[in-house]
């Protein structure tokens, strides 16, 4: 794959303070955009071949020599490195789903960093939110190796501030830097001391010296602290998340202190470090959100760098290539051993790459590394599910937790408002209005209306400005649509997810101004309703709000009705959306989701459909997922609690609506959406009550991926009532999917598995299914699967011990003479079989006759299908004579004729041909149809009965029509 032109490689490699020229093919170092990654204890192999690490370069010369040369100091530093490695290598649960080999060193692509000036920081916040495209053309990129280079005036840079909006990868950059130092890839620094500003802020004003802060967190450094003063620039402090720390650089607020052992408030210690009054020679790297840049006066900052994420599509492609090519990251759902093969991974990467080039929506989303993570997590979910408990909703709630967990909107605000809570009530309101009006494109007025509605105080306006600078770009991306510039949610699924979060929050809490209009409308509606009731009752005419005592007596009853109607309306909208059918596009939501990411087809519009009419079929799935206890617990951690009572009442309203819809016969794709809804809910009792009336599981034509098999097995596998029919024809089902679906197949009475990819290895699972003591299958259709003779031998072992199967179809299963000979020899092992279809299997006269004789001797077999085999005219005549011998036993169907009459099974034969016309070999089918046509013509010429001639002519006409459809001649 060609990646196009690359950006200059950025690396924490050999020595900060000088630029290392690299060839084009090595100019992009791999990066990881999220918190919490696994790292091996030995230096990873991924960097052996990279230019610029400590393995092939020496530390740059400086005025300081080796400072920590004593044995005790060296051992202390090594212990410090090991402790940091252990801490920063820990993997959060959201990352463990990608397998044990997933590590920061193997999937890390450095984001673009552009140098800024203090003047750039004064741009309006709206430009910071949406103006990346403009500023990137003006500002030069900054390599990580250049962070501490002298500035344009030649002055030494000691303090660097890196800032970026939520999701740009600040946390990952720090984590990668620390791990690089632990493995000796930062030789410019002999000692690195990272501090979390969130951790420091939790200490409040409790006095502590710099030495105490260091030793409390990094005990091994106690022995080397006396050498910090002499370390100079080779000592690096990393202050991560400055927005969590309130700094006061006024002398009246924070006095001067140069002694690292003198106690003071942690914020005061950091202020004196940044003033360069304490340890003036030390290097300092600060990361922060844009809103907190001004907390450090610019005179104390040597360089500003804006983290711009993956603003180049090549970086996005490289990230996906590294991430999706990770070995051992595809474990089967439920431990079945399903994994993504290298060829499948390459195919995913190629399709995704093409979509990035041609689909501006996903490219705009992947501008932020966090959305690249979301895309990979979704693809992993779609193609290699690892945990039966993982759902699409849990991926999106985990995505929000990875980005917003513990984040407050403004640490200086006394309310300590959760950033995610603010986003849910502003961006959630925008999403709610978008889904309600069925649109995904929003004008500037739409966005401003949701952000600024109800703002009355200066404090509220300041909170809004902080949100614009720090997080608005995370939720909205610019997009050219219909000839004007609009904004969209980077991933449309996020709009539907936030819509449901907003609905869940709006029921109980309206803590922000955005909720006041709804509360006011509710109050006025209730007041008007009361006035209307009293007026109609002839009691009194109210011209103002009723007295409080009367209002409190009447409101609970009226409010209960309104809330109930609201829940009914939400449930009705959800059910209608889930079962919405469009003639022009009706794939299941999982295929739609995969197509939107990979660009295979994408959601198609009818040519006459207005472009703003969007389909939101995932809205009900997220509604179901957010009702589950796990996802509500995650949202509560983010400051967005959904009450248990609300969830229960919503679930009851949905159950009533689903109960009515569930009795209808749904198309296969809609039925899968219904099952996926239940999978997202993860509530077996709820699903059992709603799906209790389901008797037919018809998923014919639905591409059954490992995830879909897991969904069906999870939802229906624990049910008790039998399924009259399970139709999985043309589902691209493989042996692994068959194994996953085993609990559902045990409940089936009629099982259709025709037109799939089931080979000999699948017969082992079929054998186990037939031998299971709970097996209820009476009709088993395996036609058009490559079972071969090896598979049918295993299958016969299952039939020998089975007591339920009466009808078995092995039509076009590549049995050949060997397979039919095996059937003839072992047919007597089964005593219940009534009908056996082995048509179109390439059998010759001798084997066909042997099987026919065995069928005639079988105690229960009534019908044997042998047509479309390689039978000669003489062989077909022998089989006809055998059937007419009058000795009893099974009837043998090998042709469209029986003597000079039409076979009573002629319609069965021709319907099988019609059904498989597009999947069978046309040349071979033509040859067989011509032989059957010759039989019909011979029989017509041999009979004088006009009724029989008419029947034969009718069947001849049907055969000629089939031949014309195949492009063959009817003569």
DSSP labels, 79-139: HHHHHHHHHHTPPPHHHHTT-TT--TTTS-BPPPEEEE-TTGGGS-HHHHHH-HHHHHHHS
User: How crowded is the C-beta side of 267, counted as CA atoms within 13 Å?
Assistant: 20
Give a yes or no: residue 705 inside a domain: no
Other Cβ atoms less than 10 A from the Cβ of 307: the count is 21
User: What's residue 296's pLDDT?
Assistant: 94
Q: What is the pTM of this model?
A: 0.81
Average pLDDT over residues 52-69: 42
Same domain, 298 and 424: no
Give a yes or no: residue 688 inside a domain: no
State the chain's mean pLDDT as an integer: 78
For the chain, give the number of residues: 971
Tokens representing 875 are 């062989």
Query: How sure is the predictor about 9, in pLDDT bands with cuts at 50, 70 and 90?
Result: very low
Identify the residue with better confidence: 750 or 922.
750
Strand order across the 159-163 sheet: 113-116, 303-307, 159-163, 283-288, 235-240, 191-196
Expressed in angstroms, the distance from the first to the final Cα of the chain is 52
Tokens representing 385 are 């599910």
Number of H helices, E strands in the chain: 38, 18
- The number of angstroms, rounded, from the C-alpha of 675 to the middle of its chain's C-alpha atoms is 17
The lowest-confidence range among 45-49, 287-291, 605-609, 721-725 is 45-49
Q: CA angle 327-330-331, nearest 5°?
A: 125
The owner of tokens 């197949």 is 745
Query: How sure is the predictor about 947, in pLDDT bands with cuts at 50, 70 and 90?
Result: confident
- Residue 450 to residue 514: CA distance in whole angstroms: 7
Query: How sure is the predictor about 96, in pLDDT bands with cuts at 50, 70 and 90?
Result: low
Give a yes or no: residue 787 inside a domain: no
Q: Look at phi and psi of residue 874 and say left if phi exceeds 0, alpha if psi is from -120 to 50, else beta.
A: alpha
Task: Kindly give, in sequence order, each residue whose CB lies less than 8 Å from that of residue 381, ignoring residues fewer than 6 positions away.
Answer: 390, 392, 395, 707
Asked if the model's pLDDT at residue 422 lies above 60, the reply is yes
Domain with residue 225: its CATH number is 3.40.50.300
User: What's residue 227's pLDDT?
Assistant: 84
Asked if the model's pLDDT at residue 261 lies above 80, the reply is yes
Q: CB under 8 Å, gap of 24 or more: what pairs does 931-934 form?
A: 931/873, 932/867, 932/895, 932/896, 932/959, 933/959, 933/960, 933/963, 933/970, 934/873
Average pLDDT over residues 768-777: 94
User: What's residue 889's pLDDT?
Assistant: 78
Give a yes or no: residue 800 inside a domain: no
Asked if the model's pLDDT at residue 323 lies above 90, the reply is no
User: What's residue 484's pLDDT?
Assistant: 55
Asked if the model's pLDDT at residue 67 lies above 70, the reply is no
The lowest-confidence range among 374-378, 641-645, 770-774 is 641-645
- Residue 962 to residue 499: CA distance in whole angstroms: 53
Domain carrying residue 429? 419-507
Final residue of a structural domain among 473, 507, 541: 507
Asked if the model's pLDDT at residue 768 lies above 90, the reply is yes
Closest CA to 596 of 495, 492, 508: 492
Other Cβ atoms less than 10 A from the Cβ of 967: the count is 9
| Cα–Cα distance list, 852 to 821, 823, 856 (Å) | 11, 10, 6
- Residue 868 to residue 929: CA distance in whole angstroms: 8
Give a yes or no: residue 950 inside a domain: yes
Give a yes or no: residue 694 inside a domain: no
Asked if the model's pLDDT at residue 188 lies above 70, the reply is yes
φ/ψ (deg, to 5) at 657: -70, -40
| Cα–Cα distance list, 315 to 7, 108, 422, 604, 623 (Å) | 8, 10, 31, 29, 34
Burial classification of residue 630, based on how many CB atoms lie within 10 Å of its CB (0-12 exposed, 13-18 middle, 19 or more buried): middle
Give a yes or no: residue 180 inside a domain: yes
Domain with residue 437: its CATH number is 1.10.10
Write out the H or E segment, with its range, that includes residue 484: strand 484-488
Closest CA to 323 of 517, 33, 542: 33
Q: How many structural domains comprise the chain?
A: 3
Identify the residue with better confidence: 284 or 40.
284
Write out the H or E segment, with its range, that includes residue 678: helix 668-681
Q: What are the start-end ranges of the E strands in 484-530?
A: 484-488
Final residue of a structural domain among 272, 287, 308: 308
Query: How sure is the predictor about 285, in pLDDT bands with cuts at 50, 70 and 90?
Result: very high
In eight-state DSSP terms, residue 255 is -
- Residue 836 to residue 574: CA distance in whole angstroms: 46
User: What's residue 328's pLDDT?
Assistant: 53
User: What's residue 431's pLDDT?
Assistant: 92
pLDDT tens digit sequence for 129-139: 444 444 444 56
User: What's residue 754's pLDDT?
Assistant: 92
Residue percentage of the chain with pLDDT more than 70: 76
Other Cβ atoms less than 10 A from the Cβ of 692: the count is 13
Final residue of a structural domain among 308, 330, 350: 308
Asked if the model's pLDDT at residue 111 lies above 80, the reply is yes
Q: Strands 897-898 and 901-902: what pairing?
A: antiparallel
In eight-state DSSP terms, residue 9 is P
Q: CA angle 812-816-822, nearest 5°?
A: 110
Cα torsion 164, 170, 174, 180: sign: negative
Same domain, 302 and 445: no
Closest CA to 236 of 15, 63, 401, 481: 15
Q: Are 48 and 182 in contact (CB under 8 A)?
A: no
- Residue 799 to residue 820: CA distance in whole angstroms: 15
User: What's residue 97's pLDDT?
Assistant: 61
Tokens representing 75 are 């051992």
Same domain, 303 and 175: yes
Other Cβ atoms less than 10 A from the Cβ of 106: the count is 22
Other Cβ atoms less than 10 A from the Cβ of 608: the count is 6
User: What's residue 485's pLDDT?
Assistant: 66
HEC string of 220-240? HHHHCHHHHHHHHHHEEEEEE
Average pLDDT over residues 333-339: 48
- Residue 763 to residue 773: CA distance in whole angstroms: 18
* Angle of the 922-942 helix axis to the 873-883 helix axis, nearest 10: 60
Same domain, 249 and 121: yes
Same domain, 431 and 295: no
pLDDT tens digit sequence for 697-724: 999 999 999 999 999 999 998 878 899 9
pLDDT tens digit sequence for 295-317: 999 999 999 999 988 988 889 99
Average pLDDT over residues 611-631: 76
Closest CA to 313 of 362, 361, 356: 356
Same domain, 426 and 286: no
User: What's residue 576's pLDDT?
Assistant: 67
Tokens representing 300 are 């104390």
pLDDT tens digit sequence for 555-593: 334 334 444 556 677 677 666 666 665 544 567 888 888
- Residue 540 to residue 422: CA distance in whole angstroms: 44
Highest mean pLDDT among 611-615, 751-755, 875-879: 751-755
Closest CA to 819 of 794, 782, 853, 783: 794
- Residue 89 to residue 581: CA distance in whole angstroms: 48
Give a yes or no: residue 201 inside a domain: yes
- Judged by DSSP in three states, 846 sits in helix
């Amino acid at each position: 794959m060609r990646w196009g032109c690359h950006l200059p490689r950025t690396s924490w490699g050999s020595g900060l303070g000088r630029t290392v020229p690299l060839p084009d093919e090595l100019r992009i170092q791999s990066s990881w955009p999220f918190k919490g990654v696994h790292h091996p204890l030995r230096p990873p192999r991924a960097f052996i071949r990279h230019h610029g690490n400590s393995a092939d370069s020496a530390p740059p010369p400086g005025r300081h020599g080796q400072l920590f040369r004593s044995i005790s100091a060296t051992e202390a530093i090594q212990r410090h490195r090991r402790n940091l490695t252990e801490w920063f290598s820990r993997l959060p649960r959201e990352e463990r789903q990608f397998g044990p080999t997933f590590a920061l060193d193997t999937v890390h692509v450095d984001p673009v960093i552009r140098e800024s000036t203090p003047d750039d920081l004064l741009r309006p916040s709206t430009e910071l939110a949406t103006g990346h495209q403009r500023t990137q053309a003006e500002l030069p990129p900054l390599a990580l190796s250049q962070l501490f280079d002298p500035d344009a005036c030649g002055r030494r840079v000691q303090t660097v501030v890196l800032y970026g909006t939520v999701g740009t990868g600040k946390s990952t950059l720090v984590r990668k830097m620390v791990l690089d130092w632990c493995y000796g890839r930062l030789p410019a620094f002999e000692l690195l001391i990272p501090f979390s500003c969130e951790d420091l802020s939790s200490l409040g004003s409790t006095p502590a010296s710099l030495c105490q802060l260091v030793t409390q967190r990094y005990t091994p450094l106690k022995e080397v602290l006396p050498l910090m003063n002499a370390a100079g620039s080779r000592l690096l402090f990393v202050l991560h998340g400055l927005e969590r720390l309130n700094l006061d650089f006024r002398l009246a607020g924070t006095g001067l202190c140069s002694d690292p052992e003198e106690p003071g408030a942690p914020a005061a210690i950091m202020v004196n470090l940044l003033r360069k009054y304490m340890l003036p020679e030390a290097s300092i790297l600060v990361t922060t959100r844009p809103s907190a840049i001004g907390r450090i006066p610019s005179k104390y900052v040597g360089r500003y760098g804006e983290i711009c994420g993956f603003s180049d599509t090549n970086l996005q492609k490289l990230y996906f290539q590294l991430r999706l090519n990770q070995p051992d990251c595809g474990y089967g759902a439920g431990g079945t051993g399903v994994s993504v093969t290298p060829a499948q991974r390459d195919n995913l990467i190629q399709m995704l790459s093409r979509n990035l080039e041609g689909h501006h929506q996903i490219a705009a989303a992947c501008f932020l590394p966090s959305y690249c993570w979301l895309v990979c997590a979704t693809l992993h979910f779609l193609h290699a599910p690892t945990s039966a408990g993982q759902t699409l909703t849990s991926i999106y709630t985990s995505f929000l937790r990875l980005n917003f967990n513990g984040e407050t909107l403004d640490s200086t605000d006394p309310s300590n408002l959760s950033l995610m809570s603010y986003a849910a009530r502003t961006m959630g309101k925008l999403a709610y209005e978008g889904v309600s009006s069925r649109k995904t494109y929003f004008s500037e007025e739409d966005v401003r209306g949701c952000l600024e509605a109800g703002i009355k105080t200066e404090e509220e306006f300041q909170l809004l400005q902080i949100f614009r600078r720090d997080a608005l770009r995370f939720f909205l991306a610019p997009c050219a649509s219909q000839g004007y510039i609009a904004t969209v949610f980077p991933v449309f699924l996020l709009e539907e997810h936030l819509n449901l979060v907003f609905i869940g929050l709006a029921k109980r809490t309206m803590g922000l101004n955005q909720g006041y209009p709804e509360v006011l409308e509710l109050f006025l509606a209730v007041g008007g309703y009361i006035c209307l009731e009293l007026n109609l009752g002839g009691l009194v005419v109210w011209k103002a709000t009723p007295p409080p005592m009367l209002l409190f007596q009447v409101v609970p009853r009226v409010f209960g009705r309104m809330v109930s109607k609201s829940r009914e309306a939400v449930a009705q909208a959800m059910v209608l959306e889930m079962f919405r059918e469009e003639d022009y596009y009706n794939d299941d939501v999982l295929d739609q989701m995969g197509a939107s990411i990979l660009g295979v087809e994408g959601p198609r519009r009818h040519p006459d459909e207005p472009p703003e009419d969007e389909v939101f079929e995932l809205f009900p799935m997220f509604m179901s997922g957010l009702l589950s206890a796990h996802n509500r617990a995650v949202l509560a951690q983010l400051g967005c609690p959904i009450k248990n009572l609300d969830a229960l009442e919503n679930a009851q309203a949905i159950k009533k609506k689903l109960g009515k819809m569930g009795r209808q016969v749904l198309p296969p794709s809609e039925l899968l959406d219904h099952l996926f809804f239940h999978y997202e809910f993860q509530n077996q009792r709820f699903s059992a009550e709603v799906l209790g009336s389901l008797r037919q599981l018809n998923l014919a034509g639905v591409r059954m991926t490992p995830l879909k098999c897991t969904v069906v097995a999870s939802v229906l596998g624990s049910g008790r009532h039998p399924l009259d029919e399970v139709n999985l024809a043309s589902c691209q089902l493989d042996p692994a999917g068959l194994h996953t679906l085993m609990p559902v197949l045990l409940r089936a009475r009629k099982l259709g598995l025709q037109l799939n990819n089931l080979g000999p290895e699948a017969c082992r699972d079929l054998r186990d299914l037939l031998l299971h003591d709970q097996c209820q299958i009476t009709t088993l259709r395996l036609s058009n699967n490559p079972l071969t003779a090896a598979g049918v031998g295993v299958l016969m072992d299952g039939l020998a011990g089975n007591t339920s199967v009466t009808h078995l179809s092995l039509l076009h299963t590549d049995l050949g003479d060997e397979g039919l000979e095996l059937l003839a020899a072992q047919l007597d092992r089964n005593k219940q079989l009534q009908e056996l279809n082995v048509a179109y299997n390439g059998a010759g006269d001798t084997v066909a006759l042997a099987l026919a004789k065995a069928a005639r001797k079988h105690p229960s077999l009534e019908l044997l299908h042998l047509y479309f085999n390689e039978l000669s005219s003489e062989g077909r005549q022998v089989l006809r004579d055998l059937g007419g011998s009058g000795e009893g036993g099974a009837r043998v169907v090998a042709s469209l004729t029986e003597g000079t009459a039409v076979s009573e099974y002629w319609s069965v034969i021709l319907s099988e041909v019609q059904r498989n016309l597009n999947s069978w070999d046309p040349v071979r089918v033509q040859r067989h149809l011509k032989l059957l046509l010759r039989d019909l013509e011979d029989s017509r010429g041999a009979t004088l009965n006009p009724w029989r001639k008419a029947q034969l002519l009718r069947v001849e006409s049907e055969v000629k029509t089939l031949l014309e459809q195949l492009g063959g001649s009817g003569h």
